Amino acid sequence: MCPTSNLQTGAAPSIAEHPIGLLRRLHFRVTVNTDNRLMSSTSVSEEFAKLVEAFDYGWDDLQWFTVNAMKSAFLPFDERLALINGVIKPGFAQLKWQA
């Protein structure tokens, strides 16, 4: 989902009221995206920051979104799994340890 773009197009009234919060609670495989970075003037990091502020998300939530993105990537299963287990999970473990 693209929270900033969804606000700009009127698809969601605010970040706090964006359906990504409900979908996350229901464990839908949602991902965080930017839609059109130039028009929305945002990045995935900024989208994550807005969601952290609106929904009080922590590292586990951000890891969940990131793993979902890799699960949905157009790569062979073995490559996706290798990136999840070899890059994403260790990276978030390091971030959690530093926090």
73 and 33, same structural domain? no
53 and 85, same structural domain? no
Straight-line distance from the first to the last Cα atom of the chain, in angstroms, rounded to the nearest whole number:
27
27 and 70, same structural domain? no
User: Which pairs count as long-range contacts for 49-52, CB under 8 Å and 24+ apart, including other chains?
Assistant: 50/3, 50/4, 50/15, 51/3, 51/15, 51/20
pTM of the predicted protein model? 0.92
75 and 65, same structural domain? yes
Using one digit for the tens of pLDDT, what is the confidence trace for 52-68? 999 999 999 999 999 99
Q: What is the pLDDT of residue 53?
A: 98
pLDDT band at 39 (very low <50, low <70, confident <90, very high): confident
Between CA 1 and CA 48 the distance in angstroms is 11
Which one, of 28, 36, 33, lies nearest residue 46 by Cα?
33
